[in-house]
Amino acid sequence: MRKSTQQTVTKQRASARQTREQPEPIAVNSGRDRVPSTEAVVPRSTKILAVIVLVLIGLRLDLPLGITVGYLAAAALIPLWLPTLGRYRGALTLVLIGFVAVGSGIWLSVLAKPTHVIAMSELAGNSIGLVGLLCSFGFVLWTRSVLPDSWVALWFGLGLLGSVTTDNARFFDNPWRFGFSFALTVVILAIAHILDRRWFDLLAVLGLTALSMLTDARSSFAILLLTLILLAWQMRPTSRFRYLRIRSGAGVVVALGVLAVVVYNLGQAAIVAGLFGEATRARTIDQLNTAGSLILGGRPELAATASLMAHQPYGFGAGTLLNPTDLLAAKTGMASISYDPDNGYVENYMFGGNIELHSVLGDLWARFGIPGVLLAVVILFLVLRGVGAAVAANRASGILLFLVVNTVWVFFFGPLYTATRLLILVLALTLIPKGPDLPNPVRRRVGALFPFGKSLKTGARD
């Protein structure tokens, strides 16, 4: 009996030893690691809904009072995307500040009524426009849990491409610069990101940079050149150039600022040397002679914005129109840089039935006051934090870099209306997912490694 028991124990020990010695099964890469792991549980109808609304938001089919079909769809789907805000750093804060800004814009208009004309259509349009931006951002952020980030950008870009029209009087003079430039760049770089080949990404940006140079698109050229440099820098052999590695997002942002200054000066020198053609050279020299700076000469609205901020620091309101005293303050600021404000542009475009300061920061301040400035600062902070983490980890794609550099440009030099769809897309793609319940230092490190397309809760990855 004892011998039988010993034999049984010996067999059990041998079986256990054999089990421990068996090699671990090898995971086979199916080539689908860039597709969200949630794909198997996401219904096809949900994906179709995501694609349709992405295209609609990109198309911007206008309805009365600043409403668009895409805004309506995003607002109707609030119960779907609202829980997503809690899963990304800064998303809920951004939306809350945005709605406070909407209330501030209405309140400022009420306060200004005794001394200013209030345009109710402007009040409704600007307020609804900001609400639509916030709702659309929330929806596009949700689509990251349904589709890979690259496909989110592609479908949104196709909507942008479908919205290109020939209504602009200068379209036929330069279709690329005044029509297809932004939309087609988003589509091409989204496709490059889908293909997941750095060299294709680089070639695509290089070709678009050359095209912008040949079509007199100075700002697009500068944006794409900066994107090209950042892409090329990420492709360096890290083992040989460790001393060039920037490990923090803040360091990346500082380096980006320095690089932007370098690109600006090199671009200005190239234009003055005639590399962009004689017409571009003549226009640039004229702006330099007028304002002493290519930026101020090309964007005199900055001088008007600075003068109006000094004149009325708390802003005007979403529906408020400038009175003669305000208009004089704006013109005085523009005249201080040797710009002639009595040329019809100021009265007809900038302040003809609205307030248009030709910058996201200026427009948000004028229409929504201090909360509008706070919203602009939060937008810029979130975008720069996201791209900083991505570049520090050498994971920033061409489409991400292009959108971020474009955002920094329009923050100071682009009107809010035309920048709205850019802001929706770039915010949705750059926000960093919150990490799991880990200690703070560990969470920060994990978040820095997965800034673009990785959901640490759902496991979705682009």
Report which of residues 372 and 391 the model is more confident about. Answer: 372
Q: What is the pLDDT of residue 39?
A: 43
Does residue 144 sit within a domain?
yes
Does residue 19 sit within a domain?
no
Q: What is the pLDDT of residue 25?
A: 37
Classify each residue of 118-152 as buried b or exposed e, where b means 16 or more C-beta atoms within 10 Å of its C-beta.
ebeebbbbbbbbbbbbbbbbbbbbbbbbbbbbbbb
Q: Where are the alpha helices (DSSP H) in 292-433?
A: 294-298, 301-311, 324-335, 345, 360-392, 398-413, 416-430
Helix, strand and coil content of the chain, in percent to the nearest 5, comes to: 70, 0, 30
d(CA 314, CA 416): 18
Q: What is the pLDDT of residue 218?
A: 78
Does residue 27 sit within a domain?
no
Degrees to nearest 5, angle at CA 404 with 398 and 409: 125
Q: Are residues 159 and 184 in contact, defined by beta-carbon separation less than 8 angstroms? A: no
Tokens 């234009």, residue located: 271
Q: What is the pLDDT of residue 162?
A: 93
Tell me the pLDDT band of 34, cut-offs 50, 70 and 90: very low
Q: Where are the alpha helices (DSSP H) in 336-359?
A: 345
User: Comparing 11-25, 134-148, 175-189, 408-422, which segment has the lowest mean pLDDT?
Assistant: 11-25
Does residue 123 sit within a domain?
yes
Sign of CA dihedral 270, 273, 277, 280: positive
Tell me the pLDDT band of 393, cut-offs 50, 70 and 90: confident
Q: What is the mean pLDDT of residues 428-442?
A: 67
Tell me the pLDDT band of 347, cut-offs 50, 70 and 90: confident
Kindly report the length of the chain: 462
Tell me the pLDDT band of 372, cut-offs 50, 70 and 90: very high
Q: Are residues 355 and 322 in contact, defined by beta-carbon separation less than 8 angstroms? A: yes
Q: What is the pLDDT of residue 237?
A: 66
Cα–Cα distances in angstroms (integers) from residue 211 to residues 197, 244, 276, 408, in the given order: 21, 30, 11, 22
| pLDDT over 70, % of the chain | 76
Does residue 456 sit within a domain?
no
Per the structure, the count of domains in the chain is: 1
Kindly tell me if the per-residue pLDDT of 379 is higher than 90: yes
d(CA 139, CA 64): 22
Through-space distance between the first and last CA atoms of the chain, rounded to whole angstroms: 63
Does residue 59 sit within a domain?
yes
d(CA 168, CA 260): 30
User: Comparing 95-104, 144-153, 389-398, 415-424, which segment has the lowest mean pLDDT?
Assistant: 389-398
Mean pLDDT of the chain: 81
Kindly tell me if the per-residue pLDDT of 275 is higher than 70: no
* CA-closest candidate to residue 271, choices 204, 230, 225: 225
d(CA 241, CA 244): 5
User: Comparing 50-54, 215-219, 354-358, which segment has the lowest mean pLDDT?
Assistant: 215-219
Does residue 4 sit within a domain?
no
Tell me the pLDDT band of 185, cut-offs 50, 70 and 90: very high
Q: What is the pLDDT of residue 293?
A: 63
- Which residues are within 8 A (CB) of 428 and not within 5 positions of it... i.e. 6 or more apart? 137, 140, 141, 143, 144, 152
* CA-closest candidate to residue 143, choices 165, 159, 161, 128: 159
Q: Are residues 332 and 384 in contact, defined by beta-carbon separation less than 8 angstroms? A: no
User: Comparing 28-42, 343-357, 419-433, which segment has the lowest mean pLDDT?
Assistant: 28-42
Token representation of residue 31 = 């080539």
Q: What is the mean pLDDT of residues 154-177?
A: 87
Beta carbons within 10 angstroms of residue 258's beta carbon: 9
Q: What is the pLDDT of residue 294?
A: 63
d(CA 271, CA 135): 41
Task: Give the H/E segment covering residue 442.
Answer: helix 440-449
Beta carbons within 10 angstroms of residue 389's beta carbon: 24
C-alpha radius of gyration, the chain, whole number: 26
Q: Which residues span the domain enclosing 182?
A: 43-449
Token representation of residue 103 = 């209330």
Tell me the pLDDT band of 447, cut-offs 50, 70 and 90: very low
